[in-house]
Structure 1
Amino acid sequence: MRGLTCKETGLVTTNTATLPVLSPLMGFDEASAIVVDFLKEHIPLGYWAVTRYDGYRQLYLEVRDDVYGVGPGDSHAWDDSFCVHMLAGDGPQIAPDAMAVPAYRAAPVGKAIDIGAYVGIPIVHGSGEVFGTLCGLDPAAQPDELEENAALLALLSNLLTMILDVDLARSEEARKRERAEIAADTDVLTGLLNRRGWERAMSLEEDRFRRFGHPGSVIVIDLDRLKVINDTLGHQAGDDYIRRAGQTLTGCLSREDYIARLGGDEFAIMATDATPEESAAIVDRIYAEFAAAGVAGSIGCAPYTIVAGFPGAFDAADKAMYEEKRRRRASEG
């Protein structure tokens, strides 16, 4: 698209800016990269980003930053941000002098880093739910003419919202197809995914989580007493114990979560769209349901992060599980 006239403010360095070419056919991550590149060139604040509110953090999905040293996958608490105040109506979407706005001056993020100018434009689902923001920051206050970019910023945010909704719908359809495909990779004893199915699920979900910044966790479970049951009651009793554990775990999860038996007495869960608090509640529910079913095990949980990905989350959850097993053995001994 062409013909958007931008005034020469000292912020926009060209008299006529050609809007970036954005299409619903492209992914949200590609569109986000195009938009922040465009803004970094035409409204050259030190930091531009597309961010995601995932229920507890403000997560940076696409970043162009040469002042604060942050990158994709970094985050801070949502309640500490300027954006939470902007969305509440306590501060403007464009603040050339952010410290002149009481809500921004009091925000914890403004005490942690120097923020002289702030831009925060909501990115909203078609349902009206806030996905995140198109966010710009600079350590120095800017001329009041920064506000003259309001129409441009709103247009770019609306375009990102349109592409987001289309890409989310497309991604969900792909997820349904993928689930059907990996359903064949099942463990004979429990009917859950086997290790191959688990690894395929992690690989397929990795791109989706990186693109949208979805919250999620990996939970690793290692059953107790299986060897004792096999040695004293026989392997049929051991198989029944494993099946009962699998059925109990399935009952603790939503249909969108992935659950696998990785082999022997080890299970793994990918809790999709779950914050750390929600994942901790899942762990508590598993312990309670295990106790009711006569199953015992040690559980470790770790959140997904863009930096470490699902392999890193699995390793962290596995480590946490073994630490929990050692702690329980020490307390019982």
Structure 2
Amino acid sequence: MKVPIDAMLPYASLQESLPALLGCLRLVVPMRLWMVGRLAGSSWTVIQADDTQDRVRAGDSFPWPDTLCIRVLEHYGCCFAEDAAANPVLADAPVRSAIPIGAYIGYPMLSWRGELLGTICGVHPEPMPPFSAAQRQLVKTISRTINTLVAHSFKLDDQRSAPARVRPPANIDHLTGLPNQHGWQVLLEEEEAALKQEGADAMAMMVELNEPENSADGAGSVDWDNTLNRVAHLLKSHVREQDGLARVGPARFALLLRGVNVRQGDHAAEKIGQALADAGIRAGLGHAMRLASGSLANAVRIADIRMYNAKLGAAGVPGAPAAQTAQMPGEGDSGHQRKV
């Protein structure tokens, strides 16, 4: 029997791989519930669950001090308990009064620096027969693989959310403090890798200001520098911590909004355009979606073209596209251009 080649491709994201790996853990040790949970402060939150009774789901949260995981990490690191009631460390855990737990397996998830990220655990309402050496080895190996994928995903999140000030000075525009063209390219490469892993969408946007007609008020003048800083601050107020913003030219800014769909992207672009207009800033705007099947480079290219077309339309250039053009033929990205 031939297996379709698509079934051999890498998983598209962490979210797609976790159910499959938890399914493997279930095959090795058929517990009622297998979970991957992240530790944040005093809460342990489920990232992925495989529950035969469908009671525990992703997003459910439990007090970390009440869990079995906190107890086993302090004493064992990795724990295999076929009978939780017979284990002196686990027997009086508060969570056992809320959830019937007869058998338990716990494995810590660590970052590359050794910090505790969360745990992988399995629970069963009744005690189970003794686990074999093969079962223990397979559970450890699959759990360590899950840990590797989660740690890599969190590392990418940390890199994306790192503030611009920790980036190399050569990547920074000294006037606005934003990443410059080189910093923008580095950001795009990092984001492309992350978006491919997560299977997520994003929106790219280009904004170019209309430079003053009077050359004395243009590049290098105090008024022009103040205008650029005003725009930089305005755009910063419209992006989130996980988004990207850069000054990529003398009068040009680039934005990247992560995890937005087409409707949200259009709404965000409309708000930014209106905010610039309200501030008396004349500029051309263009945006395009980077869908899961596309690329950031292509979305940026389309957004740049739309921004340029918007400026031509605003200047009344014969043959220039209208200011609200639908998506370009042959492209899988959605977006529009706008003149302000």
TM-score w.r.t. length of structure 1: 0.49
- Which structure has the larger Rg? 2
Higher helix share: 1
